[in-house]
Amino acid sequence: MAEVYTGPSAANMLANRTLAKEIIARNSDPEPILDADELALLEQFVNDPSRANAILESKGLSADPKNSGSLVAYVIYLHTTDNPALSAEDISSLKAWFGGCGYNSGEDETKEAAIESPESDPFNAGGPKA
């Protein structure tokens, strides 16, 4: 049975300027705030916020980002207005988080699979294959 999200609403996080903090804090929860696709979009944005409009256009979200069903598209859209959802400090925190630490994009599973592969195991009786 799927877990039910029990955290603050998106509207609450936007109004209280806690969205970045909550995304980071709840990412390991059974029901995180953002799914993998939304996290990928957010990472693209925080890596270069000056490309906000181009990012929305590339995803086909520029026509009506407020009603796209994507919280991150809405956040990116707000960045182009006088009332951005994320402060410069929020963007910096998210960028650091994506860059090093708590965010797991699935890359770790790929590394683990390579390590578990007999061909890459230096202790394998046959050794690594050349």
pLDDT band of residue 104 (cuts 50, 70, 90) is low
Q: Which two tokens stand for residue 96?
A: 């650091």
Q: What is the DSSP letter of 9?
A: -
With beta carbons less than 8 A apart as the criterion, state whether 49 and 92 touch. Answer: no
pLDDT band of residue 120 (cuts 50, 70, 90) is very low
pTM score of the predicted model:
0.75
Q: 116: part of which helix (H) or strand (E)? A: helix 107-116
Amino acid 65 reads: P
Q: Per-residue pLDDT tens for 39-98?
A: 999 999 999 999 999 999 999 999 899 999 999 999 999 999 999 999 999 999 999 999
